[in-house]
A and B are shown apart, each in its own frame.
Chain A
C-alpha cells in the first residue's frame, strides 16, 4: 500500500459525506446503497464513522460528471479513466468524482462498472490511501470485475488504512487480521485458550468478532425481526439479514450496516406500511423510520410516541395488515392494535394474544404478513394464521422460507 505525500488524513473520527447528484444508470436508492456499503468497508476496519449530510458542506462530496467538470482533470469518455478522488483536505479535498460517460451498475456485469467497487477504491483515496501494486488489493489502480456480494478488504488495504487511522475502537489492541479471502474465519472468543490450526499465524490474542451468521437451514435458527420491503422479505438476526426476493431464487446475505450504516444491529421488531413505502424498525424503547431505503431524519423516536404506556420498554414483534390498515404490536402475552390511518393506538387494548390468536406460542420473536396470512415466529417454530378468521392454519419451521 502507499499513502499520498506527507500522508494527509482526516484528523477526526466522524467524517461527513454528501451525494451531490446521481447517475441515471441506476435507481437513486441503489446509488445510495452502493456508496453506503463502500464507506462501511472502511469503517469496519478503522475507528472512522461516516455520516451522511444533505447540504454541500460535507467533508467528502460525491458526484457524477462527464468530460471537463471544474477541476484540472477532465474525464475521457467511456472506458479509460473511470473516476478519481482527492486526498483528505478542505474544499475539494476528499471529494470523489465518477465519470458519467461510464455505465454504472449495481451488480458486476460485463457491460458496466460496479459502482460499489469503484466507489470503495476512490473512498480509499478520500481517506488518504494512494495506489497499491498488490494485485487483488482494492487500491490496485485498474478495475477488476468480481462478485461483490460478500466482498472483503484485502489485507494490504487493511494494513494501509490502519497505518493512517489505527484499528476499530471495539477491537483488541491488535490490528485486525483478515484471513485470505477464500478461507472461512474461525470464531475464537477473546481470551479463550486457542488451538493453533496450521492456517493461523501465532498471535497473542485473536480479536473477538461478531457472531458468525447461522446457516440458512440450521433447524434452531430464530429471528429478531422480519419485514417486507418493496416486494422483498428481510429476515433479521443480530447484524445479519437474509434477503428473499421474488426476482432471484437464492437467498442473499447482507448485513444491516451494509444497508443502513447508522442503524444498530439486533432489532426487536420491524414492519412495512406498504402504501406509504415506509418501514419502521424497533430496538428497546426507540424506533426508526426508513422511507424507501433512506433513514428519515428526526429518528430515533421513543415508542411512547405511538401510544404505548411508559411501562412498556420494548416490543417483541410487529406486523401490518394491509387490508384493515392496522398494525399489531406484540409485547409478552399482550398485543396492541395501531390505526395507521389515524396514527393512533386503538382503544380497548392491550388484549391477550391467547384470546385472539389461539394456538400460537409467545412471546413472539417476529411477525410477517404475506399472501393474506400472518406468520408468527416463536423460537424455531412459525405459525401460519388466516388473517380474516385469525385461525391457526399450520405450524412450520422458522426457516421454511429458505428452501431448505
Chain B
C-alpha cells in the first residue's frame, strides 16, 4: 500500500537514528541532499548485509522491520 508522506518521513528519521546508533552513520550537512542519501544508502546496505537481508540499500519493509526489533544498545559495527 502507498505510505503516507508523514509516515515515510517518520520512518526515515527512525532509520537515520538507528544507523547513527548502531552503524556509525554520521549525517553531514552536505550541500547536496543526494550525497547525504548516498551515504545513508551505504549504511543501509551494511546493515542489510549484517542481518542477512537482501542488500538493496533501500529502506524497504523488511529492513525497517528488522530495525524495529528490540535489541542490545551496543553498535553492530564501529569505526
Contacts and interface: CB of A to CB of B under 8 A. Distances in A.
Given A133-B50, A141-B22, A125 B70 contact: no
A84 B72 contact: yes
B70 A113 contact: yes
Given A133-B52, A135-B52, A142 B73 contact: no
Among B50, B71, B78: residue with most chain A CB under 10 A? B71
A133 B53 CA distance: 11
Interface residues of A, number: 23
Nearest to B69: A142
Contact of B73 (A83, A133, A135): A83
B36 interface: no
Nearest to A81: B73
Interface stretch (A10-18, A72-80, A175-183, A388-396): A72-80
Given A102-B70, A143-B69, 4 more contacts: A73-B73, A81-B72, A133-B51, A141-B76
B70 A85 contact: no
A119 to B, nearest CB: 11
Contacts of A102: 70
Among B70, B74, B76: residue with most chain A CB under 10 A? B74
Contacts of B52: 133, 135
A35 B51 CA distance: 28
Contacts of A113: 70
- Nearest 9 A/B pairs, CB to CB: A84-B73, A81-B73, A142-B69, A142-B71, A143-B70, A131-B76, A133-B50, A141-B71, A141-B72
B70 A82 contact: yes
Nearest to B76: A131
Nearest to B21: A81
Contact of A83 (B50, B51, B69, B72): B72
Contacts, number: 53
A130 to B, nearest CB: 7
A326 interface: no
A121 interface: yes
Contacts of B73: 73, 75, 81-84
B66 interface: yes
A102 B69 CA distance: 14
Interface string A280-299: 00000000000000000000
A5 interface: yes
A156 interface: no
Contacts of B21: 81
Nearest to B71: A142
B74 A131 contact: yes
Contact of B70 (A73, A80, A84, A130): A80
Interface of B: 21-22, 50-52, 66, 69-76, 78
B74 A125 contact: yes
Contacts of B72: 81-84, 118, 121-122, 125, 131, 141-143
14 contacts: A80-B70, A80-B71, A81-B21, A82-B72, A84-B74, A125-B72, A125-B74, A131-B76, A135-B52, A141-B71, A141-B72, A142-B70, A143-B69, A143-B71
Interface in A125-156: 125, 130-131, 133, 135, 141-143
Nearest to B51: A133
Contacts of A133: 50-52, 76
A118 B70 CA distance: 11
B74 A142 contact: no
A131 B70 CA distance: 15
B68 to A, nearest CB: 8
Contacts of A131: 72, 74-76
A79 B70 contact: yes
B71 A130 contact: no
A123 B9 CA distance: 36
B78 A142 contact: no
A133 B49 CA distance: 9
Contacts of A141: 22, 71-72, 74, 76
A130 B78 CA distance: 10
Given A133-B50, A135-B52, A82 B74 contact: no
A131 B73 CA distance: 11
A85 B71 CA distance: 12
Contacts of B71: 80-82, 141-143
Contacts of A143: 69-72
B8 to A, nearest CB: 20
Nearest to A4: B78
